Amino acid sequence: MTSSKDFKRLTPYLYEAPKSHRPDMRVPARFYADAELLEAIKDDKSLDQLANTATLPGVVKYALAMPDIHQGYGFPIGGVIATELPDGVISPGGVGYDINCGVRLLGTHLFQDEVEPYLDDLASTLNANCPSGVGRSGTVKAGAAPGGELDQLVEEGARWALKKGYATPEDLERTEERGRIEGADATKVSQRAKQRGADQIGTLGAGNHFIEVDVVDEVFDEEAADRMGLAPGRVVVQIHCGSRGYGHQVCTDYVKRFQEVIHKYGIRLPDRELVCAPLSSPEGQDYLGAMKAAANYAFVNRQVLTFHIRRSFEQALAGKVHNHWVYQIYDIAHNMAKVEEHEIDGRKVKVCVHRKGATRAFGPGSPVLPDVYRDIGQPVLVPGSMGTASWVLLGTQGSMEQTFGSTCHGAGRTMSRAQAKRTVRGDELRDELEASGIRVRAGSMPGLAEEAPVAYKNVDKVVEIVHGAGIAKKVARIVPIAVIKG
């Protein structure tokens, strides 16, 4: 059993268990925390899971976890590892079931006092136009037949949405990978996954997914904030969702397939949930193609929701405010595996970086960033728990040097969903949020209870750690004024 006592404090915010901690570890295991968050993770298995990831074939440098670490499937949520190619492994558990679950931040030219008189109507309109909840269908229906519209959608990604009128060119420019990961292969996706995803495009789902109308509370980097259109009192919108049933089924299918073939590659694991295959293997390549398809599905999903948010602002605010247009600031994934090049021990190495509940945070000058942000670094979007703050950060040179260009993705749970439902009454939570000035639209009171702030770490504390450690930089803090949940 791995505990926090097995980790030595290297810096005020960084702890490490050496490679010698366990005979099967190939590299050290590191995580970012402070004394308070160290206490918060002692009761789950996340540190065991972190040490387990350090045993994977091909893993290089060290296994990492962010301060929002908590127990997940195989990998801890908040986990980051890189495996060296061509023979390093890829693991579905290192990506997660909600492939390309991510966050999109939208900006407006409006301030809170302009929107406040119409906020109830805006919240209700957003709730009506943006389907949410388990199994809910969207307005976009894509045929699941082989070679049909859905296959085109997942291979083209946001280009499909642009062609269909759901996106602007500027939206694609301000989306990770321009909303399309090359190499997506719909032929590697099961018919069951296609059937599950065919009618869920432009839907939120349930769980911790949400749409929030937020207000900029405080700015910490005026130049970066100005570049993004952020100023105190300015209204913005967050979308947090992923690849719905499509991505979930891709993960399910490949976990099963990898479990059937893992012995062929002589791989031994401390936990079968870590199941993996060499990226260069037929199975590894098939999963990569399917995972990219699910990632592109998620980019389109958030893009269609953006379209619905724009029409909701028009319906609720046209003729009442000076400018209701909603523009895109950035869209980023936090459940993904990507082939990237990083410097390791003084040499450039091609690796497969798994970020599970962790966000890419590339620093200034990265050629993959859009022109508008290239000189300041990549925007990083860190949603908090419902009713608390969220953050806009920037990637740094420090993240490139320390974490394969990665940082935290949210607050991180301290309480399971089942425990939260036993502890919190959804209707009472709704009343508390409404009393504090936050409009709430939720389809399920038990679902609302699952996401109560008490079930999460303090997101401000998490951000303070990544900022202090130099793996992200504070830009702005935002707070909710309306929440839409499944």
Residue with tokens 């519209």: 149
Crossing angle of helices 282-317 and 119-129, rounded to 10°:
140
With cut-offs at 50, 70 and 90, classify the pLDDT of residue 252.
Answer: very high
Q: 226-257 burial, b for 16+ CB within 10 Å, e for fewer?
A: ebbebeeebbbbbbbbbbbbbbbbbbbbbbeb
Mean pLDDT of 109-118: 98
Over residues 143-169, the pLDDT tens digits come to: 888 899 999 999 999 999 999 999 999
- 450: its two tokens: 């699952």
* Rounded mean pLDDT, 324-341: 98
The whole-angstrom separation of Cα 202 and Cα 126 is 12
- Measured CA to CA, the distance from residue 347 to residue 353 in angstroms comes to 16
Q: How is residue 3 written in tokens?
A: 């505990």
pLDDT in tens, 182-197: 999 999 999 999 999 9
The structural domains of the chain, ordered by start, are 4-414+456-485 (3.90.1860.10)
Question: Angle CA(209)–CA(214)–CA(218) in degrees, nearest 5?
Answer: 125
Given pLDDT bands bounded at 50, 70 and 90, which one contains residue 39?
confident
Instruction: Count the Cβ atoms, other than its own, within 10 Å of residue 133.
Output: 16
pLDDT tens, residue by residue, 333-381: 999 999 999 999 999 999 999 999 999 999 999 999 999 999 999 999 9
Rounded mean pLDDT of the chain? 95
Residues 6+ apart with CB under 8 A from 263: none
**Residue with the two structure tokens 């061509």:** 86
- Would you please indicate which residues are annotated as catalytic (active-site) residues? 409
Residue recorded with tokens 């280009």:
159
Residue 135 scores a pLDDT above 70: no
pLDDT above 70: residue 458: yes
What is the token pair recorded at 194?
């296609």
**Between 55 and 453, whose confidence is greater?**
55
Percentage of the chain lying above the pLDDT 70 cut: 99
How confident is the model over 192-229, as pLDDT tens digits? 999 999 999 999 988 889 999 999 999 999 999 999 99
Q: Tell me whether residue 44 is exposed, middle or buried, using C-beta atoms within 10 angstroms of its C-beta: 0 to 12, 13 to 18, 19 or more.
A: middle
In degrees, to the nearest 5, what angle opens at C-alpha 367 toward C-alphas 362 and 369?
A: 55
Contact by Cβ (8 Å): 78, 356? yes
Cα–Cα nearest to 411, from 464, 448, 361, 333? 464
pLDDT for position 457: 86
Q: By the 8 A CB rule, do 361 and 412 touch?
A: no
pTM over 0.85: yes
Long-range contacts of 158-161 (CB under 8 A, 24+ apart): 158/296, 158/299, 158/300, 158/303, 160/300, 161/299, 161/300, 161/303, 161/304, 161/307
